[in-house]
Structure 1
Amino acid sequence: MRLSGDVRRPVLLLPAVLALVLLPAAPADAWRPWPHLKPNASASDIFGQSKKYEGSSEFVKLKYHMGPVLTANITVHTIWYGVWPKAQKKVIREFISSLSATGVKRPSVAGWWRTVQMYTDQTGDNISQIVRLGQEKNDRFYSHGKSLTRLSVQSVIKSAISTRTRPLPIDPKNGVYLLLTAPDVSVQDFCNNVCGFHYFTFPSIVGYTLPYAWVGNSAKLCPGQCAYPFAVPDYIPGLKPLKAPNGDAGVDGMVSVIAHEIAELASNPLANAWYAGQDPSFPVEIADLCEGIYGTGGGGSYTGQMLEDGDGTTYNMKGIRRKFLVQWVWNHVVSYCTGPNALDQ
């Protein structure tokens, strides 16, 4: 994810331990799913820009910087931090399982992942088609408290892989570690333009270099910022939120952030693969380029054309048994944002 100007992220061109000595410890700051709006913006300002935009091929200079991408089958190991109802877990699990699902009618989550798969490493190998659920760890008792810093996020992961009781497997090659925090957990910079971030763990803290992402449930702290468009910022009068496809604005909002982070972990796991920008400590990655775009015509402050179910819920792709609303990602072959619900496919 793109840094928001407060913390910088290094490019890992040196061995991990040496890099820790020379470079600052800063995960990639996350995207925020709501459009970039002025505090006095009106609903007409938001939805009045329905031009075909979907990113800017004229100005975007996405480049490959010779680092690895996740070409081996990807296994997502999940840490549920705090108290999580079973129904919420089911929504997130099914989304992850749907990334590799076959036989789902278009527009599908797997169709969305095929754009991510187009990215390759220096040998020409593509990002893996396979994304599967791995093992899970529940941390119901908030072992590191209800207020986490960026570095203590890594300590939570260390606890999950080193606990005596059912530790998560240590899987540097195939594993992606997904830390999900409950609505009553605050994380450094959460809600302040940050809804999630990804990076890699430091051997000095965790003992290994493991790609990981954190995403928070914003339902209590800042739904208008991080669960958009199923919740809207208080400062925009007259704007109505959309109806969430799974009936839970916080979790449905998390799904798009999780997708965003997994896509960027796959294409830039060690901060030295696919990103735009001259400053490697301030990268713009493949999902950053499509912030707030969910359908054809999206761009600026318009989300694009989405789908509506019979019960009034809004979505843009189908999973195995559920529907989801997920932002698009950058397609470097055609140089604009694409998604499975595009009208021109």
Structure 2
Amino acid sequence: MSRGCIGVTILTLLLTITTTPVISWRPWPHLKPNASDLLYGGSKKFEGSSEFVHLKYHMGPVLTANITVHAIWYGAWQNSQKKIIREFISSISDVNAKHPSISGWWKTAQLYTDQTGANISSTVRLGAEKNDRFYSHGKSLSRLSIQSVIKSAVTAKTKPLPINPKSGVYLLLTADDVYVQDFCGQVCGFHYFTFPSIVGFTLPYAWVGNSAKQCPGTCAYPFAVPQFMTGFEPLKSPNGDAGVDGMISVIAHEIAELATNPLVNAWYAGQDPSFPVEIADLCEGIYGTGGGGSYTGQLLSDHDNATYNMHGIRRR
């Protein structure tokens, strides 16, 4: 049984341990043709790779109950940055937004079902939040210490995050001065689940980092470009914050995959669950019509020439 890809990648919203966490990489133009360039030749009329990669259901649970995203703000965050991310998450279930909308994008994720035939929830809401502004586990985090940060948040003496393993997901967001293992070199974000031996519970979680100071050309593309791409100009960021705007795509990617593959035993392609092709991977780098390979696709722009592809509650 298979489904389509998760629509287009969210461009922006103006608004290892022994078992390897599932990875999200960021798209950017290649100096040499990549796999999809070679596969499709000169044609850019395709959108996604769902005709070539068939996702398979491996009988694990998916998030059919109303999804609550509990955010952990690790490090120093500005209120304006938090607002951008909060409003993106709240826009996922906002059916009144102008087309093309975030909620319209989420309808693709809703098509996925569990073994009973129940669909992914249409409701995604922002839950409790926890601030860790004093870097309780330092400014350099390993994959395992990420789980320790989550443990600190759910076991805090004051206002701990609620434990909600059936419909809650935990989103760890690291500030631009926090180094995370493999950040920039291999990943911009990933999702997995916590180990009871570390956290005390099995909780689906994702980590996404702000790349503004470390690798914006990699993780905040196309609002920043790598240094070797001489002659390429970055697109204007609608929020005026390339690092956070870049995070929106990765957050969208990880929430979609948390919903459809929270314990890495539900929807994915490939034989190895440690390195699966998941729902959002099928459309990685595709921001608009005709996108794929090294081309972002046809995008929209506002009166300030800021680039976007989706409407949210109050932002683009």
Query: Do both proteins adopt the same fold according to a TM-score greater than 0.5, normalized to the shorter chain?
Result: yes
Out of 230, 234, 244, the residue aligned to residue 241 of structure 1 is 234
Contact 1:32–1:193, Cα closer than 8 Å, also in 2: no
Give, in whole Å, the separation in 2 of the partners of 1:304 and 1:167: 43
- 2:161 aligns with 168
Per-residue Cα deviation, 1:248-267 (whole angstroms, up to 9, x for no partner): 10000000100000000000
The 1:215–1:49 alpha-carbon spacing in structure 2 relative to 1, beyond 3 Å, is farther
Contact 2:102–2:311, Cα closer than 8 Å, also in 1: yes
- 1:186 aligns with 179
Residue 117 in structure 1 maps to residue 114 in structure 2 = no
Contact 2:95–2:104, Cα closer than 8 Å, also in 1: no
Contact 1:39–1:236, Cα closer than 8 Å, also in 2: no
Structure 1 regions of 5+ residues with no counterpart? 1-6, 9-23, 42-47, 324-345
**Offset at 1:159?**
0.2
- How many correspondences in the alignment? 295
Give, in whole Å, the separation in 2 of the partners of 1:178 and 1:70: 15
**Offset at 1:289?**
1.3
Structure 2 regions of 5+ residues with no counterpart? 1-15, 35-40
Counterpart residue identity of residue 71, structure 1: T
Contact 2:27–2:218, Cα closer than 8 Å, also in 1: yes
**Offset at 1:57?**
4.3
Give, in whole Å, the separation in 1 of the partners of 2:119 and 2:304: 39
SS of residue paired to 1:263 = helix
Out of 67, 73, 83, the residue aligned to residue 66 of structure 2 is 73
Residue 226 in structure 1 maps to residue 219 in structure 2 = yes
- 1:250 aligns with 243
Contact 1:232–1:241, Cα closer than 8 Å, also in 2: yes
- 2:278 aligns with 285
**Offset at 1:50?**
6.4
Contact 1:33–1:257, Cα closer than 8 Å, also in 2: no
Counterpart residue identity of residue 265, structure 2: N
Give, in whole Å, the separation in 1 of the partners of 2:189 and 2:293: 22
Contact 1:54–1:293, Cα closer than 8 Å, also in 2: yes
Identity fraction in percent: 76
SS of residue paired to 1:114 = helix
Counterpart residue identity of residue 192, structure 1: G
Give, in whole Å, the separation in 2 of the partners of 1:58 and 1:216: 31
Per-residue Cα deviation, 1:7-62 (whole angstroms, up to 9, x for no partner): 58xxxxxxxxxxxxxxx332112222324x12799xxxxxx966112123443121
Contact 1:50–1:302, Cα closer than 8 Å, also in 2: no
Residue 33 in structure 1 maps to residue 27 in structure 2 = yes
Per-residue Cα deviation, 1:296-316 (whole angstroms, up to 9, x for no partner): 101111111111111100000
Give, in whole Å, the separation in 1 of the partners of 2:51 and 2:203: 35
Larger mean CA deviation between 281-290 and 87-96 belongs to: 281-290
RMSD, aligned α-carbons: 1.7
TM-score (norm 1): 0.83
Per-residue Cα deviation, 1:143-198 (whole angstroms, up to 9, x for no partner): 00000000000000000000101110111111100000000000000001300000
Contact 1:80–1:136, Cα closer than 8 Å, also in 2: yes
- 2:56 aligns with 63
Give, in whole Å, the separation in 2 of the partners of 1:232 and 1:98: 28
SS of residue paired to 1:318 = coil
Give, in whole Å, the separation in 1 of the partners of 2:192 and 2:42: 34
